[in-house]
Amino acid sequence: MEIWDASLRLLQYGAAVIGLGVLTAFLWADEPISRKARARFAFAGIVLSAAAAVDGARFFHAVLGSWGDVFSTEGAGFMLSTFEPAWGYGARAALAFIAAMTILLPAGRASLWLPAAIFAASMASFAWTGHGGMTTGSAGLFHKVSTIAHILAATMWLGALGFFLSRLLRSGRGTGDRQRTASLLSRFSGLGSLLVIALAITGGANTIFIIGPDRLSETAGTAYGMVLAAKLVLFAGMLALAALNRFALAPALARSPTEAQATRLKAAVGIEMLLGAGVIACVAVLGTLDPHGM
């Protein structure tokens, strides 16, 4: 059960990185978006929608006990009137599908900010279907806000990495293309720092909300604690590579936009992306675990 739950969450996170994160990076950089690229972003939205629908159906089945009840009017009405996560799954599936269809509309480039915003709203629904939905009262509101900020910051950072990696993979196009990549990296450095700060603050806050400030030490020996530790190690590796890229490799590419310099930066960004994939895999698993190991 947990393997399927974690796999579905990982699929949704990965689709969001492409559909929201990479799309937003393209728009931020004012890069041309071809019809083929639009189709890829739309496909990511469809994957996110389908995975959210399956995830929600599994949640309904876990509560109701039979697939007949899951697809009955009475069963759906009971779930929607009783459990907040039911609305979260439904909203994510519906909004991701709407975002995908909106991307495919024959409209101008500026109109793509609309599906990006819809994608962001669909990912915000995770605050109601994970640990964030378990905190009640005023603390629950702050936990949900922190969860939404954390998810969006992570999606933007990983999406930017995917965007820069795609540009670096095209580094053979010439010096001008590599110079533009270096310029974009320089522009992104400030925003990237803000995203990292947001991730650190919201990640720390979410951990306290989920585990409890007086029970942090108890989590160390649990499965949740070990996966959380792995996530933090991977995140630290990403920070180290981000610092290397910002202060060494990107400036080197700006000074000397050769293919060799681009290859070094490409390797570093690629490794950072792999570490990021490991982080979201850990997050997907954490969402299925009891933080207190019960």
pLDDT in tens, 79-106: 999 888 899 999 999 999 999 999 998 8
Q: What is the structure's pLDDT at 249?
A: 92
Q: Which two tokens stand for residue 258?
A: 């050769």
**pLDDT reported for residue 134:** 65
Could you tell me if 238 and 153 are in contact, meaning their C-beta atoms sit under 8 angstroms apart?
no
What are the angstrom distances between the C-alpha of 270 and each of 29, 34, 164? 20, 23, 9
pLDDT tier, 133 (very low <50, low <70, confident <90, very high otherwise): low
Count of C-beta atoms within a 10 Å radius of residue 291: 22
Mean pLDDT of 102-126: 89
Q: Is 197 exposed, middle or buried (0-12, 13-18, 19+ CB in 10 A)?
A: exposed
pLDDT at 294: 57
* Average pLDDT taken over every residue of the chain: 90
Amino acid found at 34: S
**What is the mean predicted confidence (pLDDT) over 26-37?**
91
The pLDDT of residue 1 is above 60: no
CB atoms within 10 A of CB 43: 16
**Which sign, positive or negative, has the C-alpha torsion 267, 273, 276, 277?**
negative
Comparing 212 with 261, the larger pLDDT belongs to 261
Contacts of residue 226, defined as CB under 8 A and 6 or more positions apart, other chains included, come to: none
d(CA 179, CA 261): 11
Flag whether the pTM goes above 0.75: yes
